[in-house]
Amino acid sequence: MRRREFITVVGIMVAWPLAVRAQTTRTYRVGALLVGNADADTFRKELGEELRKAGYVEGQNLVFEMRSAEGKIDQLPKLAAELVDLKVDVIIAVYTPCALAAKQATREIPIVMLAGDPLGIGLVPSLNRPGGNITGLSLMSAELSGKCVEIIHDLLPSAQRVAALGYANDPFSKPFLEQVKLAGKNIGVEIAPAIMVGKTDELDDAFSLMIKERASAVIVMASLSLRNVAELALHHHLPAVSVPRSFPELGGLLSYGLDGPDTFRRSGDFVIKILRGANPAEMPVEQPTKFELVINLKTAKALGVTIPPSLFVRADEVIE
C-alpha cells in the first residue's frame, strides 16, 4: 500500500468513531422550578458547575430551562406544565410547593426534589424506595425550624413569646408549625401569634399583629417572600430567623439550615445519574448531613441585638 493510501485509510478509521460520536451526542434539557428568586443565582451556579464537571455544558449539550413563580405559589402548576410541554429530561423542584406542582404535572418525567418533608406530605411513599418518578433530598425544614426556636432562646434568653410566620398556600405549613410549637413547648417558650398569610400584601398586617402581641422574635417559613419579610422585620425592629441561608443574605438576622450551595450540588448528582439512565424509583431520597449557622451582624447591630459569644463560636459565617 502506498503511503498516501495508508494515510487516507488511517484518517478514515480515526474520523469514523468521531463522526459516530457526533451523530449520537444529544442535547439534554434540564428544567428547574423555583418558588422565588432568593436562591436562584446560587442554585444555577452550583448546579451548573456540578453538571459541567460531568460533561453537561450549557450551550453545548445542555439547555437549562428555569422557571420561577416569583413568590406566587399559584403560578407553579402553570410553570410546571410549561416544563412538561418542553419535554425536559428531568425537573429539579426547589422546595415543597414546586415538588407538589411538578408531581401533579407529570408521572413520566423524572423529578429531583428538594423538599421539607417528602414522606409526611405524600411526595414519596418511602425514602429508601420512592417507587415513582420522584427522588432527591429531604431538607428536614420542619425540624430545622424547630431548631431555630432553640437558637432564638440562646440569643434572647428572656424571650417568652416568639411568633411563627408561615405561608398558608404551602402544604408544608402544617409540619412547620407543629415542629415550631413542639420546640417552644420543650424549652418553655410560647409560640404566639402563629400567623399564616396567603399573599405578600398580608405581611404588613402580620407584623403589626406580632408587635401588638408583644412577640420578641419571629420564626419565618422558607417559602415566603424572604426579602420582604427581612425588610419588614427590620422596619418593625423584630429579630427574624429562618432556615435558608439566603435569609440573612437578604437582611434577615440569622439562619440555621442546610449548607445551601452543598445541597444544590448534591441535587446535581441526582440529575447526572438520571441523565445517564438511572431510575428515580430506585434512587433513595437522601437526608442532610451538613448544617450551617449564618448571622447577619449588620442586622443585629441595627436591631440592637448582642450576639452571645457562644453563637459566634458556632457560626459558620458572619455577614458584616
pLDDT in tens, 170-225: 888 899 999 999 999 999 999 999 999 988 889 999 999 999 999 999 999 988 88
Q: In sequence order, which residues have a C-beta less than 8 Å from that of residue 281 and are 6 or more positions away?
A: 129, 130, 131, 132, 133, 135
Residues 215 and 169 reside in one and the same domain: yes
Closest to 255 in 3D by CA, of 265, 244, 264: 244
Residue 117 within a domain: yes
Structure confidence at residue 16 as a pLDDT band (50, 70, 90) = very low
> What is the arithmetic mean of pLDDT over 232-251?
95
Residues 192 and 216 reside in one and the same domain: yes
pLDDT value for 119: 86
Residues 158 and 34 reside in one and the same domain: no
Residues 241 and 185 reside in one and the same domain: yes
Residues 69 and 59 reside in one and the same domain: yes
Residues 228 and 313 reside in one and the same domain: yes
Residue 244 within a domain: yes
Residue 2 within a domain: no
Is the pLDDT assigned to residue 17 strictly greater than 70?
no
Residue 169 within a domain: yes
Q: Which grid coordinates are listed for 240?
A: 427574624
Please give the model's pTM, rounded to 2 decimal places.
0.79
Give the other-Cβ count within 10 Å of 29's Cβ. 17
Residue 3 within a domain: no
Domain extent for 124: 8-139+260-289
CATH of residue 96's domain is 3.40.50.2300
The per-residue pLDDT for range 59-78, each reduced to its tens digit, is 999 999 999 998 788 899 99
Q: Which grid coordinates are listed for 15?
A: 474520523
Closest to 185 in 3D by CA, of 218, 162, 217: 162
Element (H, E) at 294: strand 291-296
Q: What percent of the chain has pLDDT over 70?
A: 92
Residue 36 within a domain: yes
pLDDT value for 120: 82
Residue 1 within a domain: no
pLDDT value for 116: 82
Q: In sequence order, which residues have a C-beta less than 8 Å from that of residue 256 and are 6 or more positions away?
A: 144, 147, 148, 151, 241, 243, 291, 292, 293, 294
Is the pLDDT assigned to residue 94 strictly greater than 80?
yes
Structure confidence at residue 90 as a pLDDT band (50, 70, 90) = very high
pLDDT value for 226: 86
Residues 266 and 315 reside in one and the same domain: no
Q: What is the domain count for the chain? A: 2
Is the pLDDT assigned to residue 18 strictly greater than 70?
no
Residues 175 and 197 reside in one and the same domain: yes
